[in-house]
């Protein structure tokens, strides 16, 4: 591992992956000068009451298609290969065990998700396993986090031009990235698909084609929920 390398981790259900996810990844990469961003689909999301609609195979395939032509992006099936709930701390510990030190590891998340960080498994210890990069989402500005999470304010920093900074000796921090990200959610996409509406403005063309050809979200159960 190069001493100047910075590895970003973006986890999520990705059911399906969409432009909002890609906006968050791009904003984090620009602000922190990340060498690469690894997209990690979750197998058993601990914060979701319902299981993902699309299968693990379909979700991994869609993420792979979404990032395959983008330099510096790649996909990992690390969480999909585990039979444990997809805890962020476990994923980060695995990354550290493979040789990525916490000083060079950056976990990327939206401000809406990070606002609930106190409910995450292994909190607050997981904050020592990587830098956290928190990106604004529509109706969830990073500027609100200092007031909402006062106990963490001392670790928060405004992300800026960091390419020349040495982060190896300052401990792990919480980097706030104020960036425009598109107002898209996976649940809204599934609703649009159920109505027969276009999702061309919501997902990359390769993902839209995959969903159409594989009928990934085509069927409805009797209770109205979507299944692949």
Judge whether 88 and 105 are in contact, CB under 8 Å. no
- Give mean pLDDT, residues 8-12: 97
Of all residues in the chain, what percent carry a pLDDT higher than 70? 89
180 by DSSP, 3-state: which?
A: coil
- Give mean pLDDT, residues 204-225: 76
Judge whether 72 and 37 are in contact, CB under 8 Å. yes
pLDDT of residue 51: 84
pLDDT of residue 226: 38
pLDDT band at 218 (very low <50, low <70, confident <90, very high): confident
- Give mean pLDDT, residues 131-150: 96
Cα distances from 35 to residues 6, 28, 123, 178, in angstroms, run 5, 11, 27, 20
The per-residue pLDDT for range 160-211, each reduced to its tens digit, is 745 445 555 568 999 999 999 999 999 999 999 999 999 999 999 999 999 9
Give 100's contacts (C-beta < 8 A, 6+ positions apart): 1, 7
Cα distances from 228 to residues 9, 14, 42, 88, in angstroms, run 27, 14, 17, 26
pLDDT band at 2 (very low <50, low <70, confident <90, very high): low
pLDDT of residue 228: 34
The per-residue pLDDT for range 57-82, each reduced to its tens digit, is 999 999 999 999 899 999 999 999 98
Sign of the four-CA dihedral 31, 32, 33, 37: negative
Judge whether 92 and 106 are in contact, CB under 8 Å. no
Cis check for the bond before 16: say yes or no (omega within 30 of 0).
yes
- Give mean pLDDT, residues 100-122: 96
| Furthest-apart CA atoms within the chain: distance in Å | 57
- Tokens representing 159 are 């992300």
pLDDT of residue 1: 53
The answer for 32, left when phi > 0, alpha when psi is -120 to 50, beta otherwise, is alpha
> What is the pTM (predicted TM-score) of this model?
0.91
Helix ranges (DSSP H) in the chain? 19-32, 56-67, 88-97, 111-114, 145-148, 186-195, 205-214
């Amino acid at each position: 591992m190069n001493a100047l390398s910075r590895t970003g981790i973006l986890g999520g259900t990705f059911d399906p992956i969409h432009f909002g996810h890609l906006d968050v990844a791009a904003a984090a990469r620009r602000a922190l000068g990340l060498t690469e961003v690894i997209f990690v689909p979750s197998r058993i999301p601990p914060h979701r009451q319902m299981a993902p609609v699309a299968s693990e195979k379909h979700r991994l395939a869609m993420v792979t298609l979404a990032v395959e032509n983008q330099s510096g992006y790649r996909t990992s099936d690390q969480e999909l290969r585990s039979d444990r709930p997809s805890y962020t701390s476990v994923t980060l510990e695995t990354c550290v065990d493979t040789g990525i030190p916490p000083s060079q590891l950056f976990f990327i998340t939206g401000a809406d998700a990070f606002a609930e960080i106190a409910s995450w498994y292994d909190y607050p210890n997981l904050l020592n396993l990587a830098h956290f990069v928190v990106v604004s989402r529509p109706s969830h500005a990073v500027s609100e986090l200092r007031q909402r999470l006062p106990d963490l304010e001392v670790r928060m920093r405004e992300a800026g031009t960091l390419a020349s900074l040495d982060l190896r000796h300052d401990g792990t921090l919480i980097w706030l990235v104020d960036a425009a990200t598109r107002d898209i959610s996976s649940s809204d996409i599934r609703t649009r698909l159920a109505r027969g509406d276009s999702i061309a403005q919501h997902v990359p063309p390769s993902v839209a084609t995959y969903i159409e050809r594989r009928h990934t979200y085509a069927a409805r159960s009797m209770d109205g929920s979507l299944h692949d």
